[in-house]
Amino acid sequence: MLKFSIEAKSGKARRAILKTAHGDIRTPAFMPVGTAATVKAMTPDMVLNCGADIILGNTYHLMLRPTAELIAKMGGLHKFMNWSKPILTDSGGFQVMSLSSLRKISEEGVKFKSHIDGSAHLLTPERSMEIQYLLGSDITMIFDECPSFPITHAKAKKSMELSLRWAERSKKSFIKRDGYGLFAIIQGSVYEDLRKISATELHDIGFDGYAIGGLAVGEGHKLMVDTLKFTMPYLQENKPHYLMGVGKPIDIVAAVKEGIDMFDCVIPTRSGRNGQAFTSSGTVNIRNEKFKDDNKPLDENCSCYSCKNFSRAYLNHLFKAKEILGSILLTNHNIHYYQNLMHEIREQISADNFDNFALEFMAKYS
């Protein structure tokens, strides 16, 4: 069981504390993605120093390599990767659909071949719960089917109904412990009637938190926000709300405005490795020739290690020379930027000024 306490509200936005076995999560929160038991180009201490309360791992990737059984033998995922704070693990449903080949979906689960070596596997709701238990996840996600986009209403309905049946099986297989929780995933694509059914039936089953899945899959910012607007009224007020796979800073601010509490996305780490930085004045491509002799920090309003110690010219040089340090410094900055944004969001909610902050932010960065 998890404890979720709302501390302040500003419009629909909420500031809260989510208590887990490995510590408190201050929400709204952004979870850096550590898919394969590592946040790419970051040490655990670097992630911690950026202000993150929680990171995300992934069932699909870890079951294939190095295996959940090996991680359990090593003392669990926290010990294995030397991260002492909370961990949420995605159930593997999205990755099975997007990465594996020759997959076959049935009522039982999904048969697929590994994208690593072609080996055959069966992932079911029961097996997903077992894997996440072996990993020691503070927050376990139900096993669901994440449909592609665009999708017809009929196909979205069939997929959503399968996910509901898998949700019941996930809950039955989840081992309850104090400080550990199970989140449901609301599906239904961009169809309001399907989202309503999914949310209502999942609430009847009963979970520790509710995630919105099936977005950030190509529908665009406006349709994502529109879907949130008609989905959020069906979510329980006293439980955490998690928008999966989102996203860009403007997406985060817009979603907090609708009542979302938790986020994850590969954007800050992937962008960092590719030379793109998020700054107080917008995005920056540090590979740009104009930065080759620029002695200013990447972001003059940032207090991260990268900005305090290195110039744009140096970062430009690192990327042109294909030095690993460039990816490390830019990823560190981006994770710091995202955590600083979440801190500012929480402060604005406490001051009951979030709607004004959101309007100004969206006008500046959209």
| Mean model confidence pLDDT for the chain | 96
Contact 238, 16 (CB under 8 A): no
Q: Is 291 exposed, middle or buried (0-12, 13-18, 19+ CB in 10 A)?
A: buried
The Cα 249–Cα 324 span in angstroms is: 25
Q: Please confirm, yes or no, whether 90 is among the known catalytic residues.
A: yes
What are the structure tokens assigned to 248, written together? 């860009």
**Annotated catalytic residue within 138, 261, 264, 299:** 264
Residues near 145 by beta carbon (within 8 Å), at least 6 away in sequence: 93, 97, 105, 110, 159, 162, 163, 166, 187
Compute the residue count for the chain.
366
Q: Is 11 exposed, middle or buried (0-12, 13-18, 19+ CB in 10 A)?
A: middle
- Average pLDDT for 95-107: 78
Name the pLDDT band for 95 (thresholds 50, 70, 90): confident
Residues near 85 by beta carbon (within 8 Å), at least 6 away in sequence: 22, 23, 48, 52, 53, 54, 55
Looking at the predicted structure, is the pLDDT value of residue 103 above 80?
Answer: yes
Q: Please give the C-alpha separations between residue 257 and each of 9, 184, 285, 286, 340, in angstroms, as whole numbers.
A: 10, 21, 29, 31, 17
**Hey, is 2 helix, strand or coil?**
coil
Q: Please give the C-alpha separations between residue 318 and each of 56, 211, 330, in angstroms, as whole numbers.
A: 28, 39, 10
* Cα angle: 89, vertex 262, 259; to 5 degrees: 145
Burial 63-73 (b: 16+ CB within 10 A, else e): bbeeebeebbe
Name the pLDDT band for 148 (thresholds 50, 70, 90): confident
Class of domain 3-264: alpha beta
pLDDT of residue 99: 65
Name the pLDDT band for 77 (thresholds 50, 70, 90): very high
pTM of the entire structure?
0.97
What secondary structure does DSSP assign to 350-365, as a single string? HTT-HHHHHHHHHHHH
Name the pLDDT band for 80 (thresholds 50, 70, 90): very high
The Cα 339–Cα 337 span in angstroms is: 6
Of the chain, the percentage scoring pLDDT greater than 90 comes to: 92
pLDDT of residue 360: 96
Contact 232, 12 (CB under 8 A): yes
Name the pLDDT band for 161 (thresholds 50, 70, 90): very high
Residues near 204 by beta carbon (within 8 Å), at least 6 away in sequence: none
Q: Please confirm, yes or no, whether 144 is among the known catalytic residues.
A: no
Question: Which pLDDT tens digit goes with each residue over 311-337?
Answer: 999 999 999 999 999 999 999 999 999
What are the structure tokens assigned to 97, written together? 């659909």
Name the pLDDT band for 258 (thresholds 50, 70, 90): very high
Q: List the chain domain ranges.
A: 3-264, 266-366
The Cα 133–Cα 136 span in angstroms is: 5
pLDDT of residue 365: 83
**Annotated catalytic residue within 90, 138, 208, 261:** 90
Give the least confident one: 46-50, 99-103, 349-353, 358-362.
Answer: 99-103
Looking at the predicted structure, is the pLDDT value of residue 287 above 70?
Answer: yes
The Cα 188–Cα 151 span in angstroms is: 10
Question: Which pLDDT tens digit goes with each residue over 28-51?
Answer: 999 999 999 999 999 999 999 999
